[in-house]
Amino acid sequence: MQDDLQRVLFDEPTISHRLDQIAAQITADYRDRELTVIAVLNGSLIFMADLLRRIPLPLKLDCLSVASYHGGTKAVGEVVFRQVALPDVQDRDVLLLDDILDSGRTLDAIRRKLEEAEPLSVRVCVLLEKKILRAAPVKADYIGFEIGNEFVVGYGLDYMEHYRNLPCIGVLRTELIAQG
C-alpha cells in the first residue's frame, strides 16, 4: 500500500502531535458547553476516533453519510443524504467533523441542512484543507493541515474505497489514478 504513494505528506507522529493541538483547542473552546459532534462517514472515521479520545468533555456523537464523489478524484455537484433521519441538533452546539475540505460542497450542504433544525452553533473541523478556490462558501474553524491541490489518501481518506487504513497521509502516484 505504502508503495502506491508518490510521497508521504504527514506521518503518524506528525498527525498525532497535530491532533493533540486541535483537541486542546476544541476542549478549551467548548469547556462550558455541551458538545454534539457530527462526523461525516466514511472519511472522517479514523480522524474522529483519534481526535475525540483526546477531548475530555461530555459530548454526544452522531454520524452522517453523504455521497458526493462517486469513486473518482473529481467532485461532482450533487450531495445525496444516505439516511432518512438527521441527528437532532436543535439547541445544540454542533461540531461537524470531516476528513477534507475540497470544493466545500459536502460541508456546505450538510451545514445548511443542519441549520434548518436550529442548532445553537455549528463549527467545522477538518483534518485537511486544500488551498484552492472553493465552489461553496465554507470556512473551517479547526484545520489539521493545509495541503495543495493534490489527491491524497490514508488515515481515513480513500481512492475508490482503498487506502483508508494507511496510518499516514500521502499523495497517490498519478499513474494509479484512472483518467477521466
- The residues carrying an active-site annotation are 102
102 makes contact with ligand IMP (CB under 6 A): yes
Enumerate the β-bridge partners of residue 124.
96
69 makes contact with ligand IMP (CB under 6 A): yes
Nearer to ligand IMP, 56 or 77 (CB): 77
Residue 152 interacting partner from ligand IMP, Mg ion, none (CB closer than 5 to 8 Å by kind) = ligand IMP
156 makes contact with ligand IMP (CB under 6 A): no
List, edge to edge, every strand of the sheet that includes 152-153: 5-10, 169-172, 152-153
Query: Among residues 40, 66, 69, which one has the least CA distance to residue 161?
Result: 69
Nearer to ligand IMP, 33 or 164 (CB): 164
Residues 5-44 that bind ligand IMP (CB under 6 A): 43
Query: What is the nearest approach in angstroms of ligand IMP to the Cβ of residue 30?
Result: 23
Cis peptide before 165 (omega within 30 of 0): no
Contact 10, 66 (CB under 8 A): no
- Which of 151, 166, 169, 170 is close enough to bind ligand IMP by CB under 6 A? 151
Helix and strand numbers (H, E) in the chain are 3, 9
144 makes contact with ligand IMP (CB under 6 A): no
Residues found near ligand IMP in the complex (CB under 6 A): 43, 68-69, 75, 98-106, 151-153, 157
